[in-house]
């Protein structure tokens, strides 16, 4: 198909045109130059065969079109409205479109120059080639480039060329995608460019094969196998505003069901319903919170999509659901070519499959020879949706859309796809797979989402592939991430990039896809998963499962703790999902999203903000015992202990296998659920507010620091008890107005009070002076020992220089006591009977590794098996 190119090149390729010191046109409403026309709100210019137009849209966006072919957009949902304030005219020999946010000037050679109101040049075409493909060379590369969807590499995407072509990126040599692999499964041609802290967006709405090349520091290149390019220039000045505008164009996610934000367990290969039941029971028995179990392709009858093998009986699935689990099933697009299989037969009868010259196109997928639905056809989406509804009726709660690039398996491995030249319906405007490829999964997701939504339920759909707008219908996971440290390290920046690209509900296979994760790798991945918007452990076939208990007892325990903490914070996560549905803001966001003025965070991709208020610094390197954490300007509170750090600062935190460093920003309002009760943790600082969402509606909460305390106001539609906890009250609470049952915990340095009324103004009176940033804290120990243990029991810890501190023996088998330790830091300890000669040992008399605790109010009972002096 690419036999010859009809190309004409305009421009000499010089870096910057001669008039570069004249960024703003003097007059926007001057007479139109001869090469331009104006119709309604669109300015169109012509140079030879090429047409370039500019159309200012309401809300800080200018739509540019290169080429006159108008193709249907799969991404844009909102019918664009002209900017009523825009002026279209001339400025000497340039055609100009002016809006409050930016100006576009097009010269006689159809080169576009776009300038923000502050004078920053954001588009500066120096070379333009059109024909069977479009190639734009632009000067003035931005300082920073974020987004571009699902990508390997760091947060800032400069320095590489990125391809937009949905690809099954599995590389057998890596058991998943290779380090630095490109492209992956998703194609989202949307970038947030930042110049001197000012952000703007560039969205190129073209699902054909395309490359954004940022390798040359002086120029950006956009190269598309297309005859036209629809582009949207999106004003900021903040990243949040750019993404809000971008997601107004391409849509925002619906609020997912609450269970979708819980923990999910998957693997390829659970052989039968009984195994699923056992897994479900184990989660409940071990007290590890979880909400969903997943069915991969082994649950299908011979890989036939929309079937359930007899090994997974209805009764079995019902028992899993009775244990409080939702069930999510995979639905692959490759439909087995199999006369007698109803999905295939109805697909043929309805003309739903892609066709080639010989009839229904046949490609190889999991079932062998397979037919592929044409999701660009409305009737096909309805047909697919009917099968989705059928699964729903069988008790399948969510749908997992995989291999939807769409993948075909060529001889010899490696993902391929259906031929570019296959014709698709294009919703009544026929085109080819070359034009539809990147949007295939988007429309498959749409068909799936809409079918579930029609049943009146909130859909939960997970999709591997996608295009701009995928967030409307599906959550996204990072596909086959290998179970390696490099895979883990690349995951956080990838999730952050997806978030900036308008896709907020994202996650990775916890433990990695290829399997055999070491206990340490799994523990670290679980920590990252526990703060990922979508949290699912998954693994490939033929390797050990990656359930939290498949590693060591220590890993089981720390996984439980991490997930319990995720569930405690679910009201916060759910509120962030609501924010994403309202504004498109990511749940997990790069620090630069929140701290756009801080150059130190411009490239920081190994830390993130969970919503506006919690900074997370997961550990992604093996053998880590300490890690550096950068805290931007302002006051930060370690999440579990309230220890204070003043930013900007780079602090070194000690870590253990269980560590997930988390810091709360001053002004934070964090809703949490503890023992079924809603709690609001507040950290007074600059005045702040938060919109809490629960299924009864929205509650607006505001927090203000006062000279003699803090005030909290709560506005909601119905009354119910909320416990408000004010953090870092260092001296006794004087009193509370507007709430009941107030109390003060001097150790935790927290004041609490309970609010019942729908609308409440609560005033905490106390001296807000901080006496010491991180005062030592007393932690409680409860130690079970063998009943015949002689004498006293002691704790020796790194926190006290490994001296032996006595506990009180409250019974033959129980000793209790406390230790004063550094607040907000991990410390190691052992149980002894007063000397290391008597230190605890495991039951088999082997040395037990140091135990560890965290310097925060908490208590936990531990059990000593035996003592050194009893071992030989």
Catalytic residue from among 405, 425, 547, 594: 405
Closest CB 580 distance from ligand GLC, rounded Å: 24
Query: Which of 288, 300 has the CB closer to ligand GLC?
Result: 300
Strands (E), 206-309: 210-213, 219-224, 229-234, 263-265, 292-295
Q: 831, 615 in Cβ contact below 8 A?
A: no
Q: 128, 110 in Cβ contact below 8 A?
A: yes
Opening angle at CA 641, ends 757 and 560, nearest 5: 90
Query: Which of 158, 264 has the CB closer to ligand GLC?
Result: 264
Which residues, 6 or more positions from 393, have their beta carbon under 8 angstroms from its beta carbon? none
Catalytic residue from among 402, 443, 606, 666: 402
Closest CB 669 distance from ligand GLC, rounded Å: 37
784 given a catalytic annotation? no
507 closest CA partner among 466, 486, 537: 537
Closest CB 416 distance from ligand GLC, rounded Å: 14
Which residues bind to ligand GLC, rule: CB under 6 A? Answer: 170, 268, 296-297, 330, 402-403, 464, 479-480, 538, 540
Closest CB 284 distance from ligand GLC, rounded Å: 25
Query: Which of 305, 376 has the CB closer to ligand GLC?
Result: 305
Opening angle at CA 722, ends 719 and 724, nearest 5: 140
323 closest CA partner among 286, 291, 275: 291
Per-residue tokens: 5: 């190119």
Query: Which of 296, 840 has the CB closer to ligand GLC?
Result: 296
Distance of alpha carbon 72 from alpha carbon 152, whole angstroms: 30
Distance of alpha carbon 233 from alpha carbon 82, whole angstroms: 14
Distance of alpha carbon 191 from alpha carbon 200, whole angstroms: 9
What sign does the CA torsion over 76, 80, 85, 91 have? positive
480 given a catalytic annotation? yes
Query: Which of 480, 666 has the CB closer to ligand GLC?
Result: 480
Which residues, 6 or more positions from 849, have their beta carbon under 8 angstroms from its beta carbon? none
Q: Which DSSP category does 459 fall into? A: P
Backbone φ and ψ for 98, nearest 5 degrees, come out as -120, 135
Per-residue tokens: 620: 């992604």
598 given a catalytic annotation? no
Q: 640, 655 in Cβ contact below 8 A?
A: no
Closest CB 464 distance from ligand GLC, rounded Å: 6
Query: Which of 88, 330 has the CB closer to ligand GLC?
Result: 330
Distance of alpha carbon 119 from alpha carbon 194, whole angstroms: 14
Query: Which of 105, 169 has the CB closer to ligand GLC?
Result: 169
Query: Which of 71, 296 has the CB closer to ligand GLC?
Result: 296
Closest CB 435 distance from ligand GLC, rounded Å: 25
Query: Which of 268, 744 has the CB closer to ligand GLC?
Result: 268
Query: Which of 373, 479 has the CB closer to ligand GLC?
Result: 479
* CB-closest chain residue to ligand GLC: 268
Closest CB 118 distance from ligand GLC, rounded Å: 44
Closest CB 168 distance from ligand GLC, rounded Å: 7
Tell the residue number behind the tokens 């995979």, with chain if given.
330
Distance of alpha carbon 520 from alpha carbon 8, whole angstroms: 57
Closest CB 405 distance from ligand GLC, rounded Å: 10
103 closest CA partner among 174, 34, 23: 23
Query: Which of 194, 329 has the CB closer to ligand GLC?
Result: 329
Closest CB 336 distance from ligand GLC, rounded Å: 14
Closest CB 293 distance from ligand GLC, rounded Å: 14
Distance set, CA 468 to CA 162, 189, 438, 500, 502 (Å) = 15, 7, 9, 12, 8
Which residues, 6 or more positions from 791, have their beta carbon under 8 angstroms from its beta carbon? 833, 834
Query: Which of 544, 719 has the CB closer to ligand GLC?
Result: 544
**Read out DSSP for 234-263?**
E--SSHHHHHHHHHHHH--PPPPPGGGGSE
152 bridge partner residues: none
Distance of alpha carbon 332 from alpha carbon 296, whole angstroms: 10
Catalytic residue from among 205, 480, 547, 840: 480
Q: 286, 608 in Cβ contact below 8 A?
A: no
Closest CB 483 distance from ligand GLC, rounded Å: 13
What sign does the CA torsion over 569, 570, 574, 577 have? positive
Tell the residue number behind the tokens 């300038």, with chain if given.
115
Q: 807, 793 in Cβ contact below 8 A?
A: yes
Burial group, residue 553, by CB count within 10 angstroms (0-12, 13-18, 19+): exposed
Angle between helices 485-500 and 519-530 (to 10 degrees): 10
Q: 132, 2 in Cβ contact below 8 A?
A: yes
> Which residues are tagged catalytic?
402, 405, 480
């Amino acid at each position: 198909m690419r036999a010859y190119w009809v190309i004409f090149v305009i421009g000499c390729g010089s870096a910057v045109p001669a008039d570069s010191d004249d960024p703003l046109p003097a007059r926007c409403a001057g007479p139109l130059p001869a090469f331009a026309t104006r119709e309604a709100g669109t300015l169109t210019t012509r140079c030879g065969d090429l047409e370039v137009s500019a159309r200012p849209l309401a809300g800080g966006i200018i739509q540019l079109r290169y080429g006159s072919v108008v193709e249907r957009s799969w991404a844009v949902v909102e019918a664009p409205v002209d900017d009523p304030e825009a002026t279209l005219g001339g400025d000497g020999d340039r055609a100009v479109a002016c809006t409050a946010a930016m100006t576009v000037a097009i010269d006689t050679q159809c080169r576009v120059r776009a300038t923000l109101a502050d004078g920053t040049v954001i588009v500066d075409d120096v070379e333009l080639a059109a024909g069977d493909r479009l190639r734009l060379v632009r000067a003035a590369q931005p300082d920073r480039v974020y987004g571009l969807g699902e990508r390997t590499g760091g947060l800032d995407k400069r320095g590489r060329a990125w391809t937009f072509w949905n690809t099954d990126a599995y590389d057998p040599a890596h058991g998943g995608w290779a380090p630095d692999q490109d492209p992956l499964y998703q194609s989202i041609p949307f970038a947030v460019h930042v110049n001197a802290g000012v952000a703007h967006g560039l969205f190129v709405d073209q699902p054909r094969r395309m490359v954004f090349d940022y390798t040359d520091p002086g120029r950006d290149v956009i190269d598309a196998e297309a005859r036209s390019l629809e582009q949207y220039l999106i004003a900021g000045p903040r990243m949040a505003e750019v993404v809000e505008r971008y997601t107004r164009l391409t849509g925002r996610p619906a609020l997912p069901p609450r269970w979708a934000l819980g923990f999910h367990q998957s693997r390829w290969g659970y052989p039968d319903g009984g195994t699923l039941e056992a897994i479900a029971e184990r989660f409940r028995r071990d007290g590890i919170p979880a909400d969903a179990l997943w069915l991969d392709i082994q649950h299908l009858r011979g890989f036939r999509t929309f079937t359930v093998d007899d090994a997974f009986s209805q009764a079995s699935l019902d028992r899993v659901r009775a244990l409080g689990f939702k069930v999510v099933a995979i639905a692959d697009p490759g439909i087995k070519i199999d006369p007698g299989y109803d999905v295939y037969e109805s697909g043929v009868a309805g003309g739903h499959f892609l066709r080639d010259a010989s009839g229904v196109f046949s490609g190889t997928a999991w079932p062998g020879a397979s037919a592929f639905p044409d999701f660009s056809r409305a009737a096909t989406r309805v047909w697919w949706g009917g099968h989705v509804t059928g699964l729903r009726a069988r008790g399948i709660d969510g749908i997992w859309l995989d291999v939807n690039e769409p993948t075909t398996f060529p001889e010899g491995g490696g993902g391929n796809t259906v031929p570019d030249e296959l014709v698709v319906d294009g919703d009544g405007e026929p085109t080819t797979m070359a034009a539809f490829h990147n949007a295939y999964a988007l429309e498959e997701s749409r068909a799936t989402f809409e079918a579930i939504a029609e049943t009146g339920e909130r859909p939960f759909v997970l999709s591997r592939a996608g295009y701009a707008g995928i967030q409307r219908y599906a959550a996204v996971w990072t596909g086959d991430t290998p179970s390696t440290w490099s895979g883990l390290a690349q995951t956080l920046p990838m999730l952050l990039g997806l978030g900036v690209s308008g896709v907020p509900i994202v996650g990775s296979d916890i433990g990695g896809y290829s399997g055999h994760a070491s206990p340490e790798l799994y523990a670290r991945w679980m920590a990252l998963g526990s703060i990922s918007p979508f949290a699912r452990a998954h693994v490939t076939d033929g390797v050990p499962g990656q359930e939290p208990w498949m590693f060591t007892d220590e890993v089981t325990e720390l996984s439980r703790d991490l997930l319990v903490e995720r569930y405690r914070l679910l009201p916060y996560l759910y509120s962030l999902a609501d924010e994403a549905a309202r504004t498109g803001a990511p749940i997990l966001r790069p620090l630069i999203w929140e701290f756009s003025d801080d150059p130190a965070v411009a490239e920081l991709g190994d830390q993130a903000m969970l919503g506006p208020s919690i900074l997370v610094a997961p550990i992604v390197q093996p053998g880590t015992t300490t890690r550096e954490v950068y805290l931007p300007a302002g006051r930060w509170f370690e999440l579990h202990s309230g220890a204070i750090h003043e930013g900007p600062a780079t602090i070194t935190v000690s870590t253990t296998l269980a560590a997930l460093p988390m810091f709360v920003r001053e002004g934070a309002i964090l809703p949490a659920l503890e023992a079924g009760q809603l709690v609001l943790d507040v950290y007074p600082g600059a005045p702040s507010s938060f919109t809490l969402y629960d299924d009864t509606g929205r509650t607006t909460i505001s927090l203000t620091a006062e000279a003699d305390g803090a005030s909290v106001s709560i506005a909601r539609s119905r009354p119910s008890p909320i416990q408000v906890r004010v953090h870092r009250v260092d001296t006794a609470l004087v009193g509370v107005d507007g709430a009941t049952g107030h109390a003060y915990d001097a150790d935790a340095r927290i004041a609490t009070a309970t609010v019942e009324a729908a609308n409440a103004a609560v005033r905490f009176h106390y001296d807000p002076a901080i006496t010491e940033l991180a005062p030592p804290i007393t932690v409680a120990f409860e130690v079970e020992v063998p009943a015949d243990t002689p004498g006293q029991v002691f704790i020796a810890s790194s926190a006290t220089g490994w001296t032996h501190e006595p506990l009180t023996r409250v019974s033959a088998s129980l000793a209790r006591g406390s230790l004063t330790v550094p607040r907000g830091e991990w410390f190691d300890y052992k149980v002894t009977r007063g000397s290391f000669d008597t230190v605890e040992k495991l039951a088999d008399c082997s040395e037990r590794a140091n135990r560890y605790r965290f310097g925060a109010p908490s208590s936990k009972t531990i059990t000593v098996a035996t003592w050194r002096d009893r071992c030989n």
